[in-house]
Amino acid sequence: MTRADAFVTLPDGERIARLGQGTWEMGERPERRGAEIDALRAGVDLGMTVIDTAEMYGEGATETLLGDALAGLREKVFLVSKVYPHNASRRAVVASCEASLSRLKTDRLDLYLLHWRGAVPLEETVEGFESLRRQGKIRHWGVSNFDVDDMEALRAAGGLACATNQILYNVARRGSEFDLLPWMSAHAMPAMAYSPIDHMRLPKRSVLDEIARARQLSAVQIALAWVLARPGICAIPKAGSVEHVRANRQALEVALSEQELAAIDAAFKPPRRKTPLEML
């Protein structure tokens, strides 16, 4: 039986919650605002304290909602935001970070990520991140959507202090198991799995439903439990209701058996060759 530990460890030894929360598409519909805030706050109460957002989401509206949701809870949370690649130059990254801090109503981010690799030289972005760290505006920095060649380029650019790489990873998107996840593991770097339930695009009928039926759970919970059982992975599902947050938290308690894991492997095969990293 495999049951997930509640934490993963960053390269500097800091432990963060293995199960966190995403925020993409939150803060964009006024009629959903109350439910989204309730969901995020319930998640923090349940220990899902890693919360991921980005300046891109709702062009700032999501960070603004999250800033409101975290009133009185900020100190419990490991807060993650992301900078657009076109804002990742030495100077612009500082302005972007300050704008995110203002929307989030806080004085520091726990982790700041480059959303994907763009045209700005990585040396510049690393310098910008390091300067933000020296100023106490961010505690850690990292990247997102970086494949192995990008990670190697980052190291060559002086980015040895990268804390994590946030990537598309779920039962149906396993390409990174071939080379990227082993590379990260060799560098003691956990991965942050985004869209851990594939943005609700998992096949309608699969072995996940069979396992779910037998356990009186949902296929979403089984898909999430599968990600959470992988070593060195933190997952950030987005849930817009307290009901979904509770269901996701329950997935952390699910211990999939060897037979269930083998059945999942048979239906969602691990990669046999290099597959370029997919992104949403």
Is the CB of 29 or the CB of 91 nearer to ligand NAP? 29
Of the residues 151, 175, 237, 256, which one makes contact with ligand NAP according to CB under 6 A: 237
Q: For residue 219, give both structure tokens.
A: 């296929």
Scanning 69-77, 95-103, 120-128, 198-206 for contacts with ligand NAP by CB under 6 A, the matching segment is: 198-206
Q: Segment 244-263, which members bind ligand NAP (CB under 6 A)?
A: 244, 247-248
Write the interaction track for ligand NAP spanning residues 99-128; mark x where CB under 6 A is met and - where it is not.
----------------x-------------
Angle between helices 258-267 and 207-215 (to 10 degrees): 150
Scanning 88-96, 101-109, 155-163, 189-197 for contacts with ligand NAP by CB under 6 A, the matching segment is: 189-197
| Closest residue to bound ligand NAP by CB | 22
Q: Is 20 in the site for ligand NAP (CB under 6 A)?
A: no
CB 229 within 8 A of CB 3: yes
Q: Is 22 in the site for ligand NAP (CB under 6 A)?
A: yes
Of the residues 195, 211, 233, 249, which one makes contact with ligand NAP according to CB under 6 A: 195
Q: Is 148 in the site for ligand NAP (CB under 6 A)?
A: no
Q: Is 199 in the site for ligand NAP (CB under 6 A)?
A: yes
Burial of residue 16 (CB within 10 Å: 0-12, 13-18, 19+) is buried
List residues binding ligand NAP (CB under 6 A): 22-24, 52, 115, 144-145, 166, 194-200, 218, 220, 236-241, 244, 247-248, 279-280
